[in-house]
A and B are shown apart, each in its own frame.
Chain A
Amino acid sequence: MLVSYKWLQEYVDLTGVSAEELGEKITKSGIEVEGVETLNEGLKGIVVGHVLECEKHPNAEKLNKTLVDIGGEEPVQIICGAPNVAKGQKVAVATVGAVLPGNFKIKKAKLRGEASNGMICSLQELGIEAKLVAKEFSEGIFNFPEDTEVGQDALALLGRDDQILELGLTPNRADCLSMLGVGYEVAAILERDVKLPEPKTASATEKAEDYIKVSVEAKEDNPLYTAKVIKNVKIGPSPLWMQTRLMAAGIRPHNNVVDITNYILLEYGQPLHAFDYDLLGSKEILVRRAKQGEEITTLDDAKRTLTEDHLVITNGSVPVALAGVMGGANSEVNADTTTVLLESAYFTGPVIRKASKDHGLRSEASSRYEKGVDPARVRPAAERAAELMALYAGGEVLDGTATADSLTLEPAVVSVTLEKINSVIGTELTMQEVEAIFTRLQFKSTVDNDTITVTVPTRRGDITIEEDLIEEVARLFGYDNVPKTLPQGAATPGRLSEYQLKRRLVRRYLEGAGLYQAITYSLTNQEKATQFALEKRQPVELAMPMSEDRSLLRLSIVPQLLEVLKYNTARQNDSLAVYETGAVFLKNDGEDLPEEEEHLAAAITGLWENHQWQGEKKPVDFYVIKGILEGLFAKLGLADKISFSAAEKEGMHPGRTAEVTLNGAAIGFVGQVHPTVQKDMDLKETYVFELNLKTVLEAGTAPLQYESIPRFPSITRDIALVVDKNKSAAELQSIIVETGGKLLKDVYVFDLYEGERMEVGKKSIAFSLKYFDPERTLTDEDVTKTHEKVLKAVEEQAGAVLRG
């Protein structure tokens, strides 16, 4: 809502309160003032001029040479390019020395050899938005009324010597979508009176009810419909002051009748609609739901097909307006209109909201109905509009109003105790202070002991329960005056859950290992949604996506991380390591929520080691990323429960991918991205993993138990085994561990040889075996006995030959 500081003074005395101060006060007591704009900021030297002469410029087809009286001793010559300039017009002249928006200074000039001492201005040139300029002046200069005095300040005449407060209204404060509503609010804040308009119309002999019969079929949607009839109107421009107020409030002037309905909309917050009575085609108004498939052409010349969800105003047979949203073209007020049917009605929010949404039409009227108008203003607003039509359109207002009224208008009565007020706010207000606040708001109240009962005017439809009253007290008492305390209840232990702690540990570990945390979008496209998924499931799809690229919820994080690598690689950062923890979404049938699984994924590409001046460079490989995972599982106490086995997965390198299992169940994968995928994304060799983090973090771990530090020495034996190339290290190791029994404390791979000195199809893999007995010092004999069993087992079970 744009509120003119000058206009507001008609309702509240603002003496001693500047627009900026007022804005600050309004903000602090409940409605955010998003800005205070000074309309004539940086403008000066613009006066009303009278075009005395106007002829074609001798040397330029499109220019005019004018002689303009600007109230000075001599008229000035001005070259003007506007197509609509003409002799006799009263115009806005930027005189020599004037400043226009953008700090554009007007100087004496010569245009194609002719002197030009000033500039005749369009409204746009004076800083008014083009969409607010009346059609007749939109392509050229503005004309003042003929009787306008020459030489006076044109900006003041255009209402530009004003400041506009931009109110950011929350949906509950629809009451402030009107100057009167703002007036009440400001009066309460400043503790001053509010002055209301008192419409008066001359009595007429003819009755409105003889001209029109009003009935409402859809009473729930439209509890009150009123129609007034104004005869003998002369369509023409509305008074300049009204036009300027409309423009300042963001509404484009049209003609006197339409402008008056808009002016009342702004003043009372009550939408009105003017029909051309003679074009109605009947003497009847019937308000009903539209018939399925019924059609109407609205004022914007769009043909709209209606459904039973929409409310229409009809002439008894065909629609003449889409109720509360837009009038019909068939009954539009035009230059020849002489009799106006003025509608002022109370439509309920939902039906208007539905129509406005279905037809993509949001108007000043529909948005007010949606948020709720004050039913008590329906009649006064019509009276006031009729008064203005008599004054400014020469109309004759017929006696009375044709009405269909099924409205039960009962103001809300709400009670609250002083104790409740103080205990919710944390204050020690007295009943007198509370009463004074409701008096400022012009709410009637009565006090009975500790209870105050408030009758809430219908304009404040947002107040229905005691908490609403408490809010009124709190905001007008002032939040600055509320003390600062802390909750008094029993102390509660604050902590992270086990799961949350472990998740933080995982993050810290990965960051310590050199990975950066990324956060990517959950919404993605068809291809990426399922790529690299751990489980083959349908992705969750949005009903109405904004774009194909954000239409489904992801089933895996890896594709998003590859995008991150691609983005950075394209910006000369091609050695990257990133990880992400976040939800993936698995579709369920019907109305069940999808399953959300927290996953952990990582992607690494480019150089892993890069110590530049020492010349050490090592690109990432499978064992780098696997090492990171092993370290993670060790940290989580899961090392013994995890295993890796060769696996194939779409999008992954078939020979460099492992499935990760936890207690035998698959929890994810690790490996190199398939070279064709890498190439498609312009990535170097890239390794990724993705795990079901939820399963990992929820896996039970053994309690931490101290193990005594060995007192006896251990004996280490190294063996190099020649085996078939496809024999896995894990396979050999498990044979060794199994046969080594209790004495074998530790075993690990320390060498791998697949070079040319090897027989074709063979490789040599070397293990270091550590034997140890916590009870005694082992002898060579003890170890040899076990070690030989190990060698025999690997030979028999894996065909391994000790390398000579």
Chain B
Amino acid sequence: MQERLKELQAEALEKVTQAADLKELNDIRVSYLGKKGPITEVLKGMGKLSPEERPKMGALANEVRDMITGAIEEKQIALEKAAVEQKLAAEKIDVTLPGRPVREGNHHPLTRIIEEIEDLFIGMGYTVAEGPEVEKDYYNFEALNLPKGHPARDMQDSFYITEEILLRTHTSPVQARTMEQKQGKGPIKIICPGKVYRRDNDDATHSHQFTQIEGLVIDENIRLSDLKGTLDVFAKKMFGADREIRLRPSFFPFTEPSVEMDISCKMCGGHGCSTCKGTGWIEILGAGMVHPNVLEMAGYDSKKYTGFAFGMGPERIAMLKYGVDDIRHFYTNDIRFLKQFSVTE
């Protein structure tokens, strides 16, 4: 009996080892360990044994059972693993093929520049003011110290609709309107982005429609040095911490003193190159202290209040920043152009 059990054990273990798949293994389990299996058969003959031998034989039978069960389980794990591996192998793909593109559009480069500037000044406590693109001559010129017949009106030939209405030539009328609304009481801290129009033939550097962004700060005790400090913060954030600024005296009818701001040339580090026409500096914007006539016309006491204003062209900034060589690209909307401004810097 003992021998028969050993025999069965060896036979079963051999079959388990040979089993090729889970089904075969299951058959082995049923045939050896099932209620009608050979081990059960062998144990039926236990009645013939002496009472001393019976427990010994019972233990042996259990041992054989356990051993076969263990072998089957082990084999089952191995077979399952193999099956998974086989399935995985069949599922292999070429990971180098391109992924499914996520459909994505993007903002226009001018919006990118304008929002960057807006956010920068919002961070410094400014709000964003907007106004109409078709303006009254009064807000576009007169309220800005440019009476009719003023020679400086030549600087910006305009598209008139009637004698008194025109397409605004700058976003400054938004400043005039904001000041008027405040009825002579400060403070004001605004940034004014928007489209403007001038009578220019479109070419690589001129566009009859372009954008501008202007800033205005009015309060008691606003100084030219505050303007310089503000522009310095702007230039360093917009163009890089290593850029220097310089102010040059200039002329705008609505500011006095008036300045132009240059930044040091990135290409040559200020030594002079073709980008900066050998000067080491690149002109970025115009600015100045708000002219007392402008303050007074809007109802501010120019003895009490002072202010500064600045204005710049997002096209010019985009051209400098990204190396765009033709202003018309901004309005042609060639998709090959627009797509280039998706990446973050």
Contacts and interface: CB of A to CB of B under 8 A. Distances in A.
A492 B189 contact: yes
Contact of B228 (A483, A519, A553, A583): A483
A516 B127 contact: no
Contacts of B121: 494
Nearest to B100: A611
A797 interface: no
A490 B338 CA distance: 41
Contacts of A30: 248-250
A425 B122 contact: no
A544 B160 contact: yes
Interface string A401-442: 000000000000000000000011111000000000000000
A492 B125 contact: yes
B125 A491 contact: yes
A517 B228 contact: no
Interface in A1-28: 24, 27-28
A582 B251 CA distance: 32
A467 to B, nearest CB: 4
Contact of B136 (A467, A517, A593): A593
B201 A546 contact: yes
B323 interface: no
Nearest to B336: A573
Interface string B150-175: 01101100011110110100000000
A583 B133 contact: yes
B189 A353 contact: no
Contact of A520 (B167, B251, B331): B331
A551 B87 CA distance: 70
Interface in A543-574: 543-546, 550, 553, 564, 567-568, 571, 573
A494 B118 CA distance: 10
B222 interface: yes
B225 A171 contact: no
A465 interface: yes
**Contact size range, B:** 35 or more
A613 B249 contact: no
Nearest to B259: A479
A516 B335 contact: yes
Given A553-B134, A593-B135, A173 B161 contact: no
B108 interface: yes
Contact of A546 (B165, B208, B259): B208
Interface in B193-240: 195, 197, 199, 201, 208-209, 217, 219-226, 228-230, 232-233
**Chain B, interface SS category:** mixed
Contact of B225 (A353, A483, A545): A483
Contacts of B136: 593
Interface string A504-516: 1001001111111
Given A423-B221, A517-B108, A564-B333, A482 B151 contact: no
A516 B339 contact: yes
A371 to B, nearest CB: 6
A600 to B, nearest CB: 14
Interface stretch (A315-323, A469-477, A695-703): A469-477
A260 interface: no
Contacts of A523: 159, 197, 208-209
A596 B103 contact: no
A709 B342 CA distance: 38
A500 B105 CA distance: 20
A614 B100 contact: yes
Nearest to A544: B160
A487 to B, nearest CB: 5
A300 to B, nearest CB: 22
A353 B151 contact: yes
B51 interface: no
Interface string B100-139: 1101111110110001001001111111101011111000
A474 B224 contact: yes
Contact of A497 (B128, B220, B306, B333): B128
A449 interface: no
B221 to A, nearest CB: 6
A570 to B, nearest CB: 11
A489 B257 contact: no
A27 B151 contact: no
B291 interface: yes
Given A471-B249, A492-B189, A593-B134, A517 B100 contact: no
Contacts of B123: 494
A292 interface: no
A518 interface: yes
B162 A543 contact: yes
Interface string A714-737: 000000000000000000000000
B333 A486 contact: no
B45 interface: no
B228 A479 contact: yes
B112 to A, nearest CB: 9
B201 to A, nearest CB: 7
B106 A511 contact: yes
A567 B97 CA distance: 32
Nearest to A489: B219
B98 interface: yes
A489 B189 CA distance: 11
A779 interface: no
Contacts of B154: 171
Contacts of B151: 171, 349, 353, 370-371
B215 to A, nearest CB: 11
B317 to A, nearest CB: 15
Contacts of A591: 162, 164-165
Nearest to A568: B335
Contact of A482 (B126, B164, B225): B225
A520 B333 CA distance: 8
B256 interface: yes
Contacts of A488: 221, 226
Contacts of B246: 28, 479-480
A173 B104 contact: no
Most buried by A among B126, B217, B225, B277: B225
Given A474-B224, A497-B128, A519 B197 contact: no
A573 B219 CA distance: 52
A442 B154 CA distance: 31
B54 to A, nearest CB: 59
B125 A521 contact: no
Given A484-B232, A523-B209, 12 more contacts: A353-B151, A424-B224, A425-B223, A470-B257, A475-B249, A485-B225, A517-B111, A522-B133, A522-B167, A544-B160, A550-B208, A593-B135
Interface of A: 24, 27-32, 35, 170-173, 349-350, 353, 370-371, 423-427, 465, 467-468, 470-471, 474-475, 479-480, 482-497, 500, 504, 507, 510-523, 540-546, 550, 553, 564, 567-568, 571, 573, 576-579, 582-583, 585, 591, 593-594, 596, 611, 613-614
Q: Which 5 A-B pairs have the closest CB atoms?
A: A426-B225, A170-B251, A471-B257, A426-B223, A30-B249
16 contacts: A32-B260, A350-B149, A482-B247, A485-B226, A494-B125, A496-B118, A497-B128, A504-B115, A514-B104, A514-B105, A517-B111, A517-B338, A523-B197, A542-B167, A568-B334, A593-B134
